[in-house]
Every structure is written in C-alpha cells, then in structure tokens.
Amino acid sequence: MHPGEILQSCDLGKLPSGPRVLSQLVSAIRRPDVQLSELAELFHADPALTARVVTICNSPYYARSQPTTDVRDAILALGLAEVSRIVQAATLTDFKKYPTHLYTRTADHFWERSLHTAFVAEEISGGNPSAYTAGITHLVGIWVLCSIFPFERLTIDERELELQAQLEEHRLGVSFAAAGACALTKWGFAPEICAAVQWHIAPSASDSPMEEELARFLKRAVAITNWHYGVKNEHTLIRSDLTITDLEDCNQRALEKVARIGLGG
C-alpha cells in the first residue's frame, strides 16, 4: 500500500480528542490581541483540561499564597507563555493511556521523551514557542501508527529516532514522522509545526526556509534528547552542535522542567 493511502486510513476517533482543542488554544494564546474572555471560553469547552491546568498551577512548584480556582486566575498569575506549556503537556498526557504495541518502549517513555524534547527545543531556539510545540508533538505519529495497525505486533526498539523511522518505513510502509504530521494537520495545527514534525529527520527536504529552520531546531533537540536516553556517540554529539558538557547541562535543565510539570504519574 502507498504511504499516502496508509495515512488516509488513519481514524483520529481512535486517538485522544484533546489535540483538536489544543491546536485552537495554542493558536489563540499566540495572538497578540487575544482576550482573556476568549481563552476562558476555549478552556470551558474542555472541563477536564481546565481542571488539570488549575491543579498544576496549585502544585508546590507554583506555590502561591492563595490557591487558584479559575483558569483566568491561572493565566493572570503565570502568564500566557507558562500556561501554554502547561496546557500542551496536560493535553498530550492523555496519549499515555493509548497502546504502543508496535514498540518495545512504553507509552510513558514516549510521552516523557516528547516533553523532554520540547523543553530542549525551546531552549536551543532561544525561547521559540513553536519549537516547544514541535517538540512535544513530534512523537504523536507513534500512536497514529499503532491506531492504523491495531493487530500488528512488532518489536521496534531504536533509541535513535532516525533509525526508528527507517525501521517503520521498512516494516509498515510509513514513518512516525509522516504519520504525526498527517494527524497534526487534520487536528488543525499550524503548518510550520506539521512541517517541522514531518521533516525533522531530513530538514533539507522541506520546501520552506522558515519550516526548514524549525525542523533543524527539532532535529538538534532530538539529538540532544537521544544523548540523554543513552545514544552517546560521536554522531549524536555532532548533530547536537554542543560540547559534551553543554549537552549534558541542557539535558539536566530539561529533566528538571519535566519533573516540575508534575504529570509523570
């Protein structure tokens, strides 16, 4: 079957519904003229997400003298940038409930790896919020592939994502990167996010300089994360474009940020 035909068979109804709301929230949060009332209305469309965001805002890391009880208070207290990070993490944590039967790694592993990559991508891009979003969504294709092939039982086990993508193309006919980009497009994410996820394995294949730049940041972030997950070789080091000391310091900062989000359980 042609890769395009495989991707067209993807049924997003078999995956969490949160990303569709998330794409609208992220788009709204990044608009300079967005109104607090507009954001509150979007949050109210997903009460479970609102409750998660409020719970995280009341965690020890964000300890305040008065507990936050409303998402408006959370936005005012923490600011849009921090609330955006929390919202993305809180929404995508639902993927941990879905199977990853094509792989030897667990759903928890892939989710935590995604969040780690998001913080790394944000840091090395100089705080670009699109880099964070590309990082936290770059592995959703793993769940997409598992939904397309519900009865396959494979043992794909590669800590280096470029090799994982090659194995997927060989065994399934399509990679997690292509599958993820397809789903993100259907959910309504910005084109630059979808393109970065699709082309981060080979950024030069992108047609747009802006999209290629974001894809290159994501590729570097993936290499840095690969190092954290045990792929400590010269190839990874070159791709990270960092010294070993800086690479390990970057991973340590990301690790601390992942822990502070408080969604590991």
What domains appear along the chain, each with residue ranges and CATH number? 1-12+98-265 (1.10.3210.10), 17-96 (no CATH)
Q: Name the pLDDT band for 198 (thresholds 50, 70, 90).
A: very high
Distance (Å, whole) CA 14 – CA 18: 12
* Nearest by Cα to 200 from 106, 131, 107: 131
Q: Name the pLDDT band for 265 (thresholds 50, 70, 90).
A: very low
User: Residue 182 pLDDT more than 50?
Assistant: yes
Question: Chain-centre distance of CA 63, in angstroms?
Answer: 26
Contacts of 75 (CB under 8 A, 6+ apart): 36, 39, 83
Higher local confidence (pLDDT), 111 or 75 = 111
User: Residue 264 pLDDT more than 50?
Assistant: no
Mean pLDDT across the stretch 65-89?
84
Q: What is the 3-state secondary structure (H, E, C) of 52-108?
A: HHHHHHCCHHHCCCCCCCCHHHHHHHHCHHHHHHHHHHHHHHHHHHCCCCCECCCHH
Token pair for 177 = 């990167």
Full-prediction pTM beyond 0.85?
A: yes
Higher local confidence (pLDDT), 254 or 59 = 254
